[in-house]
Amino acid sequence: MPELRYKRVLLKLSGEALSGENKFGIDPATVSAICSEIGEVLGYGVELAVVIGGGNIFRGMAGATQGMERASADYMGMLATVLNAVAVQDALEKLGHDTRVLSAITMQEICEPYIRRRAARHLQKGRVVICAAGTGNPYFTTDTAAALRGMELKCNALIKATKVDGVYDKDPAKYPDAVKYRRISYSEAISRRLGVMDATAISLAMENNLPIIVCNMLNGDIKRLLRGEEAGTIVQGE
């Protein structure tokens, strides 16, 4: 087993990533591939909490939420994250991993309520803790939920796993000469609006010195990171 760079990690998965090549929805093959990647790092003994976005489902409902009050639309988004959490739980359990879904909005027939000390116990016992329903409050993104859970569960790092492999100076999909940063500071990530995470999430991480690493979710970056190798872009203090 390799020596772990981070013993306890908060992994933020974007909802969009779960839809694979589709525009929205959950693509089972993609979820299964992501969970295999997660399974490999669990084999290293890392304690893992996961926060998943809801954009893949929410985007499919864009028409329905048009003109809606922001708070109501946000609650729909939070429910979307619960669908994703249950899908990821199912895929991880099929691979033989022990998981618990804990929701910030109580829905006890489906999953456990989020209780910080209980989540921490699950992590100590080697269970993957999937945090659903964001922070439970409208006006907060799932990125902010990830920073919040990362801090309260005393994670050593927040890994934001996405379709790209790091933070670039401009959109790498549009500009072939885009340059990837190895490391940037929290303040640079906020002031240059590099799209790492929203400013609330980065500010929370900055105040608590929680490093954020942006990397690809499917190319082995997460493994490399935990083994202490270079991967993705790290956002940290100056």
Structure tokens belonging to residue 110: 């489906």
| Other CB atoms within 10 A of residue 137 CB | 15
Nearer to ligand GTP, 127 or 160 (CB): 127
| Binding characters for ligand GTP, 44-83, by CB under 6 A (x = yes) | ----------------------------------------
> Shortest Cβ distance from residue 118 to ligand GTP (Å)?
8
Total residues contacting ligand GTP by CB under 6 A comes to: 9
Confirm if 159 and 8 have CB atoms less than 8 A apart: no
In the complex with ligand GTP, the residue whose CB is nearer, 66 or 108, is: 108
Please identify which residue in the block is written with the tokens 């490999």: 40
CA distance 116 to 149: 8
53 and 13 Cβ atoms separated by less than 8 Å: yes
Taken in order 90, 92, 98, 101, is the CA torsion positive or negative?
negative
Tokens of 150: 């990362």
Figure out which of the listed residues 27, 90, 112, 198 binds ligand GTP, where binding follows CB under 6 A: 112
Contacts with ligand GTP, 77-106, as mask; x by CB under 6 A: -----------------------x------
Select 117 or 174, whichever has its Cβ closest to ligand GTP: 117
Residues that bind ligand GTP (CB under 6 A): 100, 108-113, 121, 125
